[in-house]
Structure 1
């Protein structure tokens, strides 16, 4: 006996209703604006045909409100493959009650996150919501709390990526903020706690949304997001690229592509990148491009705190997180923002077993009253804490300047670096020659016939006697002095050796990073 046709017809009708979301007309209006629908976003994220949807037939909690159906309660959740590896995701549907969050909406998200935790799968959250569903009152607030709780439970367990593809206001902004990476589209998205009207009503201050709620503002000013996407498709492309560098969970290694043999090659072009004069700024991104496989580097937070560069790449097939001082911006000094940016990236890499390669060219911490009053001591300490607590392989290359406490903060051997290399151009000292000679050789300079010429002579003497990389090597503080042309081969060999690293730390709940 075949199954009754009316049952199959009902199933088909219910599926069609769920797939239509808030209606075909609303979907078409979104497409005309260049926006994808909730399901189209998941289709674009996942390998074709791999999505296994969770809770397609869920409807909203009708207690105390009208009985109008809300297909899926305004959110699509499921698990599918990205590049052949499983990933859990949700995508809020703005065509259904503005994508507002109610009790069943939050339960679907929480169920998906609990499933991701138990299976060890990354989570992708596509946010496009008008916020809490007012009609469900405190149940909506409770729903947000349940989601936040699971964001924290999953932190450090599986990678969490948020895409801001529409409105994300008020309490809704805190779930993305609790995740590891935020991608925001320039088209159609906004994120803020209080909008322009609320700010004006409460403070009297005019605050155009362009100054604080857009993707560009969050990328360059507040530092709340990590990537800016042109549109939905670009955001999903960034997501897939990011996932290609990450393990599924904290118990796995990242997806290395290690060849059977290491190519020991000399890259003479690397020598040509180094200016003759150590105080001449040079672009560290050119070093990164020659260091990593095929120049393929996914930079994170490109527009924020540009004096430090962070991102993912592969070196001889091994996934690494790269942290580098950028001498082209603020001379590569560490300030409050760059310290926060670097520390957060280090801690992510450590949580997910990603080796860290640090490129050092730093004259010190950023001087100035604003930095001191802004808490540079507290912020800079985050870099020290993050590097010292990281147990993944840590390879450091000192390119040029490495002075004072900033030398330590950029993963010196004393902070647990496994291998430390220095170029012959490296200067490692308590302070730079310009300031040091005025302290150490003050009498000689003052008594000279030509003080300026004497000072220049003494600078060279100081560098040779007190800042030479060979002096650091003699004391075992660096592994080797290498030519720039040898950098890629040396780092690749060090990484291959260090992949088996295992560190046992004293038992404790967690350290207390200076937040």
Structure 2
């Protein structure tokens, strides 16, 4: 059959060229994919010898950090630090911050001498850290930024990195809205004549970080400073500018320039740091707010102050749980004000009875002693305290007392803290000393501050309210929020002296006509009449005082007011600050 015939030889010959061509093409492709040429070994460069995990760089960092964290006990600066009874800078950081919360910024900044080990390899041979330790940490759980001077290195004077680090931390405080703590020991980066020698030129003094400091102060970002050694020049300015400052009694001092400079300028020789600007100088004139016995005391005071303050002015002050009953009555307050008007009492005992137990923290107790100011809590909510001190100058408000209250009002305003004041003011101080110290000038500054600040104010009149000073304290808010105790007396002038002025002609005529005895009888009649008319109930009858309360229930009244302020008024105030409508000023 035709279909059974075998294929012809012609078709077999036709398939051979096709198969050969395919093999050639396959070989050609194979040569392209894997050419049959010897492999060339790549030359090894210096980078190829470096570890892939960057352990060399990490090792250098670890070495520098270890050097910085290990004190050189043979270094004369470290020896001097210890001989002066001061903590080393990193010991201070550990003592200040909550355990384990320290996060350093600029941990390897400083001056390094490098030893070359190869074309690209090197290792640190010598390292002098920057003389300022800075970073993040926590105080009683509150996150902060901080700067801490290292007086053992160049006495805290400027080095290549210190000012850059300081400015950076000041800017971080603003950007992150975090409180900043400044531990000052030295000049905090201020100048030294040796800088001229190292740089080869002199310079016009800059002040690069002060603009940020002023911004922080007015933003209500807490600035807390401690003097833990000699605070000199720029270091002194940094701590004095803070919202709150404290000095260690055993080691602290503060001055514009040291004894050697003073000797050449004013010819005052033989001055020690303490003579020039120790605690007895600056904790009594208002330069520094508070005095602490030692460094640990400074740290504790800063923790305490921060516990009353928000992180910034666009937040509410922190609330803590209160175990002290809101309606706790204090019957001792009914008799704390003596009926004899010339007898004194202890104003701090009134504060302690009204506020949450143990919550009063006084600021500036050693200066401006005619006034008492501080922070306290009512039902767990922070409030400012202002009281006049009848135990000093009979409570008459002098120049320093006015300055102290002025500073406190700005402090409270910038932190959104309401004020409770206990008023017993016979007026501004009088006499030649009062005039010489510009009492009226500082009194008017106080008055303008009362009227230009906007934080809520509640007043408790415990005794006297006289003259311009009394009017300023009580009439600075509309409507007035105030109550009086039954012991309250008020008027344009104290009765003692006021009768002499108002009835001068009458009394003189009686004495001329009938003798001194008759004059005294008439004076007594007038005094009794005026005292009867000055019954505080008569003032309340005319609504000259809104309410007279039982002193025993003062705490309840104050707590209710503070609670309402926090619930109803402060949230709206915060919104105004966020929107930029309200801009309190501290600096």
**What is residue 547 of structure 2 aligned with on the other side?**
480
Unaligned runs of 5+ in 1: none
Across the aligned residues of Structure 1 and Structure 2, the Cα RMSD in angstroms comes to 3.2
Instruction: Choose 1 or 2 for highest CA Rg.
Output: 2
2: distance between equivalents of 1:483 and 1:256? 28
**What is residue 151 of structure 1 aligned with on the other side?**
213
Is this contact kept in 1: 2:405–2:446, CA < 8 A? Answer: yes
Displacement after TM superposition at 1:471 (Å): 4.7
1: distance between equivalents of 2:177 and 2:171? 10
1: distance between equivalents of 2:223 and 2:584? 22
Is this contact kept in 1: 2:67–2:127, CA < 8 A? Answer: no
**What is residue 431 of structure 1 aligned with on the other side?**
493
**What is residue 530 of structure 2 aligned with on the other side?**
462
Displacement after TM superposition at 1:488 (Å): 1.1
Q: 1:237 to 1:259 in 2, by over 3 A?
A: closer
Unaligned runs of 5+ in 2: 1-50, 114-123
**What is residue 368 of structure 2 aligned with on the other side?**
305
| Structural mapping, 1:55-454, within 5 Å | 55-60=106-111, 71-130=128-187, 131-137=190-196, 145-157=207-219, 158-205=221-268, 208-209=271-272, 210-220=274-284, 222-257=285-320, 263-409=326-472, 411-416=473-478, 418-442=480-504, 445=507, 447=510, 450-454=518-522
Is this contact kept in 2: 1:51–1:80, CA < 8 A? Answer: yes
2: distance between equivalents of 1:123 and 1:273? 41
SS of residue paired to 2:161: helix
Displacement after TM superposition at 1:103 (Å): 4.5
2: distance between equivalents of 1:390 and 1:242? 21
**What is residue 14 of structure 1 aligned with on the other side?**
64
Is this contact kept in 2: 1:398–1:423, CA < 8 A? Answer: yes
1-10 or 251-260, larger mean C-alpha shift: 1-10
1: distance between equivalents of 2:585 and 2:246? 28
SS of residue paired to 1:395: strand
Q: 1:511 to 1:438 in 2, by over 3 A?
A: farther
Aligned length: 506
Q: 1:24 to 1:113 in 2, by over 3 A?
A: farther
1: distance between equivalents of 2:66 and 2:322? 48
2: distance between equivalents of 1:98 and 1:248? 32
**What is residue 32 of structure 2 aligned with on the other side?**
none
281-290 or 265-274, larger mean C-alpha shift: 265-274
2: distance between equivalents of 1:341 and 1:3? 59
- 1:140-172 per-residue CA deviation (whole Å, 9 max, x = no partner) reads 977860122221121122111111111212233
Q: What TM-score do you get using the length of structure 1 for normalisation?
A: 0.89
Q: Indicate yes or no: 2:108 matched with 1:51.
A: no
Q: 1:260 to 1:235 in 2, by over 3 A?
A: closer
2: distance between equivalents of 1:416 and 1:24? 66
Q: 1:108 to 1:21 in 2, by over 3 A?
A: farther
- 1:365-412 per-residue CA deviation (whole Å, 9 max, x = no partner) reads 111223223322220012211211221121111111110111023x21
SS of residue paired to 1:228: strand
2: distance between equivalents of 1:31 and 1:211? 21
